[in-house]
Amino acid sequence: MLLFTLQVTAIILLLGISVYYFSSLERKIVFHKRLKSRANYSGQLFSILGDSSNEILNRIDSTSTAGLLPQRSISIFGTNGNILYQFEKQAQQLSINKNVIDEVNLESEKYFKIENREAIALKYKNNNKEFIVVVAAYDVDGLQRLNGLFVILLVSLPITIFLTALTGFLFSQQLVKPISQIIYEVNEISSYNLNYRIKAGKSKDELNQLANTFNQLLERLQKSFNIQRRFISNASHELSTPLTSISSQLEVTLQRERNASEYKKVLVSISEDVLQMRQLTRSLLEIAKADSEGNIELKELRVDEILLKIISEIKKINSTYKVDLYFGEFPEDEKDFVVFGNAELLHSAIKNIVENGCKYSPDKISRVNLVYENHHVYVHVRNQGNVIATEEIQKIFQPFYRGSNAKDYKGFGLGLALAKGIARLHKGAIKVKSDISDGTEFVIDIPSINAFQ
Segment 69-119, tens digit of pLDDT: 778 888 888 888 888 887 775 555 667 788 888 888 888 899 988 888 899
Which of 131-140, 237-246, 279-288 has the least mean pLDDT? 279-288
Q: What angle do CA 315, 316, 320 make, to 5 degrees?
A: 45
The rounded distance, in Å, linking the Cα atoms of 344 and 88 is: 107
b/e 244-260 (16+ beta carbons within 10 angstroms → b):
ebbeebeeebeeeeeee
**Alpha carbons 348 and 444: distance in angstroms, whole number:** 13
Query: What's the whole-number mean pLDDT along residues 299-317?
Result: 85
The answer, yes or no, to whether residue 1 has pLDDT greater than 60, is: yes
418 closest CA partner among 324, 285, 297, 304: 285
Cα–Cα dist 42/342, whole Å: 100
Closest CA to 355 of 434, 419, 430, 305: 419
pLDDT at 293 over 60: no
pLDDT band at 406 (very low <50, low <70, confident <90, very high): low
pLDDT of 251 higher than 90? no
Over residues 284-312, the mean pLDDT reads 74
User: pLDDT per residue over 327-356, tens digit each?
Assistant: 888 888 888 878 888 888 888 888 888 888
| CATH numbers and ranges of domains, the chain | 2-145 (3.30.450.20), 206-290 (1.10.287.130), 297-452 (3.30.565.10)
Residue 292 CA, chain-centre distance (Å), reads 28
Q: What share of the chain is helix, strand, coil (3-state, %, to 5)?
A: 55, 20, 25
The pLDDT of residue 124 is: 86
pLDDT for residue 66? 44
User: pLDDT value at position 413?
Assistant: 67
What is the tens place of the pLDDT at every residue in 343-392? Answer: 888 888 888 888 888 888 888 888 999 988 888 999 999 888 777 877 77
Alpha-helix runs per DSSP H in 384-426: 415-425
